[in-house]
Amino acid sequence: MEFYVDSIMGDKIGRSTVFGLPLQQQWSYRVTGENAPTYYLDTDAPLYYYSFCDAWVAIQYKSLPKEKQERLDPMIIGFNVTDMYAADHIKRVLKTFPGVFSGIGEFSIHKEFVSSKISGDVASLTDPALDRIFEFAAEVGLPVLIHNDIDNPFPKPGKPNYITGFQELIKRHPNTIVIWAHLGLGRIIKPIEDMGTLFENMLADPAYKNLYFDLSWDETAKWLDYNDKSLERTAAIIKKYPDRFLFGTDNIAPDKTEKQLRVYHLYDRLWKLVGEEVTSKVSKGNYERLFNEARIKVRAWEKENVK
């Protein structure tokens, strides 16, 4: 983690979330023999929730000097979203490692090619276990970064499968700060028809005032910069609601600064269209505002609850 702060963030990146991968790929000898899978598409074996990642992140973070800790916002991620005990796991992590974590996620409900590989119950937007997570997040002040695809990988004509459930989830938890990872897009999850209108309506509706839209991942950039029309439409919405969008990279274990900044530069045409002031808000200001507030609230909860 110190390498990440010193050599990857350096003097180019001010703040960053940091979290482990919540899902571990099982290495089944019966399936791949001596070939250990390093990616979830390398094998047909299932994925499973891996809780140790939270402790590993916390230990690495606590080993850093204070000035380097200040540049990172660790997130809790090692829980099973279908388990009613998930909220209890989050509480235990905060009590075990006070002063470390600032948010929850990124965790997935509906995610192309991933959800169907996870052992156990299928995640659902209507699961009471998910409601418990959101309720506890609101109590403590933890922002929730959630991955929920806007539709199926190979959708049928008609209304997208996962919009209504996601909207209802947000409405059920008006006091929970929610960040919608990648705008609900993916490798093959492309923008739905009238997606810009859908987002504008949600942004204008007070029922979603706690919802923020995340631009991270090169796959998201691919869709937003699909053509001049899509890019201009995206820029117009961001300029209208500049306080509701967050930029991120979503790179896994980058080994150099240039790789970490690559996604930022995929948006160069977007930054030019929205202008310098809006770019500053989306790339830095909104993140700092949300996570500075989170740090204050979470530390206050820990002070009250950690004996």
Segment 115-150, tens digit of pLDDT: 999 999 999 999 999 999 999 999 999 999 999 999
> Contact at 8 Å (CB) between 66 and 133?
no
What's phi and psi for 128, nearest 5 deg? Answer: -55, -25
For residues 8 and 256, is the Cβ–Cβ distance under 8 A? Answer: yes
- pLDDT tens for 63-121 read 999 999 999 999 999 999 999 999 999 999 999 999 999 999 999 999 999 999 999 99
Between the CA of residue 20 and those of 17, 130, 136, 231, 243, what are the distances in Å? 10, 20, 21, 32, 27
**Is 190 a residue whose pLDDT tops 90?**
yes
More confident residue, 37 or 253: 37
Residues 6+ apart with CB under 8 A from 2: 63, 64, 68
Question: Which residue has tokens 């509706």?
Answer: 205
Predicted confidence at residue 253, as pLDDT, reads 84
Which residue stretches of 65-204 are H helix? 66-69, 86-96, 128-140, 163-172, 195-204
Share of the chain above pLDDT 90, in %: 94
CATH of the domain at 40: 3.20.20
Q: Is 180 helix (H, G, I), strand (E, B) or coil?
A: strand
Beta carbons of 146 and 109 less than 8 angstroms apart? yes
Residues of the domain holding 243: 2-305
Instruction: Check if the beta carbon of residue 186 is closer than 8 Å to that of residue 149.
Output: yes
Rounded distance, CA 141 to CA 135, Å?
Answer: 10
Q: What is the CA radius of gyration of the chain?
A: 19
Nearest residue to 142 (alpha-carbon basis) of 183, 95, 178: 178
Rounded (10°) CA dihedral 102, 146, 179, 272: 110
Q: Bridge-partner residues for 249, per DSSP? A: none
Number of domains observed in the structure of the chain = 1
